[in-house]
Amino acid sequence: MPTITCIEDLRLLAKKRVPRMFYDYADSGSWTESTYRANSADFQSIKLRQRVAQNMEGRSTAVKMLGEDVAMPVAIAPTGLTGMQHADGEILTARAAEKFGVPFTLSTMSICSIEAVRAATTRPFWFQLYVMRDRDFIERLIERARAAQCSALVLTLDLQILGQRHKDLKNGLSAPPKPTLANIINLMTKPRWCLSMLGTPNRGFGNIVGHVKGVADMGSLSEWTAQQFDPQLSWADVEWIKKRWGGKLILKGIQDVEDARLAVASGADALIVSNHGGRQLDGAESSIRALPAIVQAVGSQIEVHMDGGIRSGQDVLKAWALGARGCYIGRAFLYGLGALGEAGVTKALQIIHKELDLSMAFGGNRKLSEVTRDILLPRTYPRVD
């Protein structure tokens, strides 16, 4: 086993162990992947100030996200097909997040169901919701999340239609995945993954199969999903969902200041600056570049979070300094999951936390709650005109 020191080490190991179609699903963007790459690259252009002869003793990265105590301002992002990166992936990730002290967000398009994850955890988690044409199903899904005592609902607003993801198209990835000859041959080179999948009953979309009329198995799922994402999604739907949920609501997919103001007007508790990991509109601005303007416009009225491109604790520190009060990791934890299961997710969180803690200390700070954009070198970070 190689020594794991950074998220990139986990990525390389995951690439060896996860079937190509599922690895590519996680590690890709849409069209030319320019936004996907920019999400990470734009973090690298931001530079930190180093301070010396500062008291570094007694440091703490603990803060609150949406009123909940967290070990650091990091949450597990909702990702579809997590249970295909590793058997029981959502359950393993939820356990790792719970033990570490950060929020876990379960996707509507998860492999393990809400109920399965709830049975395996002791603390409330968050649930991510897509708006679909079948409103009766959405209402039942909200009720299931409430019954599972989910402490927040994350409503995704930027997936009314799918971006063109070339790797997924070439790999034949669909819901359910297509068993092409190339995919079968590739599966034969992943015995560890195959054995673990044979040992679990969680191999379908647990929140959908058996909960929708006419969708009793994976074979009948494809037609239903192709018709269900609602291109007519509007702010009226956000209001409808907020009323039915009644709890804390986070809106995911905000990239524009005007939309951020509408998010505030909707009464949501938080918004996530996000371009869906570069998987929707290729050519959109990176999340970290979009963040400052949104923070300036609405940061005093709503809790602003962000995702996209976070691969290190330094990225978390930079986002915090620019006003994000929470960061979501998707690919970073998926690499850990695909590489080493629950232990890999824990390792990813440990890496990010250590990098965050050390970078904060080198900047002369002991408490993350006291960190401001003064830790950043002027003219290296996005400024608001």
Catalytic center residues: 276
Residues in a beta bridge with 303: 270
Contact 83, 175 (CB under 8 A): no
Burial class (CB in 10 A: 0-12, 13-18, 19+), 256: middle
Q: Are strands 105-106 and 74-76 parallel, antiparallel or unpaired?
A: unpaired
Q: Is 8 exposed, middle or buried (0-12, 13-18, 19+ CB in 10 A)?
A: middle
C-alpha span between 183 and 345 (Å, rounded): 26
Amino acid in position 369: S
Name 137's Cβ contacts closer than 8 Å, sequence gap at least 6.
211, 212
Query: Is the four-CA dihedral 38, 131, 230, 22 of positive or negative sign?
Result: positive
Contacts of 210 (CB under 8 A, 6+ apart): 216
Helix (H/G/I), strand (E/B), else coil: 104: strand
Burial 94-126 (b: 16+ CB within 10 A, else e): bbbbbebbbbbbbbbbbbbbbebbbeebeebbb
Q: Which residues contact 16 (CB under 8 A, 6 or more apart)?
A: none
Considering only CA atoms, which of 351, 305, 307 is closest in space to residue 39? 307
d(CA 371, CA 348) in angstroms, rounded, equals: 23
Q: Which amino acid is at 60?
A: S
- Structure tokens that stand for 146 in this block: 């409430």
Rounded to whole angstroms, the Cα distance separating 121 from 124 reads 8
For residue 321 the two structure tokens come to 């300094």
Distance from C-alpha of 322 to C-alpha of 371, rounded to nearest angstrom = 10
